[in-house]
Amino acid sequence: MKQKQNQNYILTWLTWIFILVIWLILSHVGEINITKLPTPENVLKQAASLCFNGYNNIPLWHHIGISLLRLSVAISAALITAIPLGLLCGYFSKLQAVIGSVVDFIKPLPPLAYYTLLIIWLGIDEESKVALLFIAAFAPIFVSAASSVSRVNLTYVLSARSFGASTLQIFFKVILPATLPEIFVGIRTAVAVAYTTLVSAEMIAATAGIGWMVLDAYKYLKTDVVFVGIFIMGLTGMILDIGLRKIESRFIFWGGK
């Protein structure tokens, strides 16, 4: 098992080395304009400059922090609302017919399709940005919570009931533990979806944030800044997912068993 993991690590590193080599070749040997494809050296220099000097007179860590704060508030609100509602909808089919249909309608909509409405209703400040991320995160968590209830082994429920367990005990001792692994998959998906929506959330009337930094740099053809911003978003997204997987393996160790 350990040997297989080591092989996977080697393959991962080889993949990124291959990407870096191709990037080096294209940016140095090819005839691609530097404004379209900056060299890795320029991107590294820009990353160092951003770390020391910030962007638009705002420290880089502030851009990262404000984006993660918006994301954290939205995800927290989605967890508090989507998990209970999803479990209830999975338990009561009539409730699923009401709420589930609304979620199914919103789920495929592109974020920018309703962002204008959120701005009209909530203004251009933080409320509309957090609301956009909340809607993006709500659907995956709700769907995973609702669908996981229907997959609970009925034998477990009947066994608990035969031993005299109350409805509340069955929910917390049988239903909830059985659904948590699938709910956690929905949470990981929700974080990824909300993070990809971050750029849309910071498009209008924002003055800080990684998404805003990328969009502002794009306006002035600062492609090296765009690359740095993309790398930061990719790395922080990976770190968030690794953290969630660690939590899952630590606290929901029975998943898949």
Q: Which of 3-12, 39-48, 84-93 bottoms out in mean pLDDT, i.e. has the lowest?
A: 3-12
Same domain, 4 and 84: no
Beta bridge partners, 55, equal 58
Regarding whether 54 and 28 lie in a shared domain, the answer is no
- Please report, for residues 63, 117, 219, 220, the alpha-carbon distance to residue 225 in angstroms, rounded to integers and kept in the order given: 13, 31, 11, 10
Distance of alpha carbon 93 from alpha carbon 107, whole angstroms: 19
Residue 224 has pLDDT above 90, yes or no: yes
Q: Specify the CATH number for the domain of residue 188.
A: 1.10.3720.10
Backbone region of residue 12 per phi and psi (left: phi > 0; alpha: psi in -120 to 50; beta: other values): alpha
- The mean pLDDT of 72-95, rounded to a whole number, is 92
Give the integer Cα–Cα distance in Å for 88 and 100.
Answer: 11
The DSSP 8-state label assigned to residue 70 in this structure reads H
Residue 257 lies inside a defined structural domain of this protein = no
Residues 95, 122 within the same domain: yes
Contact partners, residue 15, CB within 8 Å, separation at least 6: none
Residue 92 has a pLDDT of: 84
Q: Which domain holds residue 201?
A: 37-251
Question: For 18-42, what is the mean pLDDT?
Answer: 85
Query: pLDDT band at 28, cuts 50/70/90?
Result: confident
Q: Give 138's pLDDT tier (boundaries 50, 70, 90).
A: very high
Task: Clarify whether residues 6 and 120 are in a common domain.
Answer: no
Give, as one character, the DSSP assignment of residue 58. Answer: B
Instruction: Verify that 61 and 84 share a domain, yes or no.
Output: yes
Regarding whether 112 and 24 lie in a shared domain, the answer is: no
Flag whether pLDDT at 5 surpasses 80.
Answer: no
- Structural contact between residues 230 and 37, judged by C-beta atoms closer than 8 angstroms: no
Lowest mean pLDDT among 16-20, 24-28, 55-59: 24-28
86: pLDDT confidence band, cut at 50, 70 and 90? very high
pLDDT of residue 30: 67
pTM for the model: 0.86
Answer yes or no: do 17 and 141 share one domain: no
CB 149 within 8 A of CB 170: no
Position with higher pLDDT, 67 vs 30:
67
DSSP letters for 43-71: HHHHHHHHHHH-BTTB-HHHHHHHHHHHH
Poorest-confidence range of 14-23, 122-131, 161-170, 227-236? 161-170
Q: How far apart are CA 221 and CA 35, in angstroms?
A: 7
Q: Is residue 114 part of a domain?
A: yes
Q: Tell me the C-alpha distance between 137 and 198, whole Å.
A: 11
- Average pLDDT (100-122) is 88
Whether 206 and 166 map to the same domain: the answer is yes
How much of the chain, in percent, has pLDDT values that exceed 90?
A: 50
Let me know if residue 164 belongs to a domain.
yes
One domain, residues 212 and 156: yes
**Are 131 and 122 within 8 A, CB to CB?**
yes
Inform me whether the pLDDT recorded for 237 exceeds 70.
yes
Residues 87 and 143 occupy one common structural domain = yes
Do 26 and 86 belong to one domain? no
What is the distance between the alpha carbons of residues 45 and 51, in angstroms, rounded to a whole number?
10
Please tell me the predicted confidence (pLDDT) of residue 198: 85
Query: Measured over all CA atoms, what is the biggest interatomic distance in the chain, rounded to whole angstroms?
Result: 75
Would you place residue 227 in the very low, low, confident or very high pLDDT band (cuts 50, 70, 90)? very high
Mean pLDDT, rounded, for 228-244:
92
**Token pair of 51 as six digits:** 């770390």
Is 256 among the domain residues? no
Q: Side-chain half-sphere of 131: how many Cα atoms within 13 Å?
A: 16
pLDDT of residue 251: 85
What pLDDT was estimated at residue 3? Answer: 67
- Pair (56, 129) in one structural domain: yes
If one counts the domains in the chain, the total is 2
- 60-69, 118-127, 140-149, 196-205, range with the lowest pLDDT: 196-205
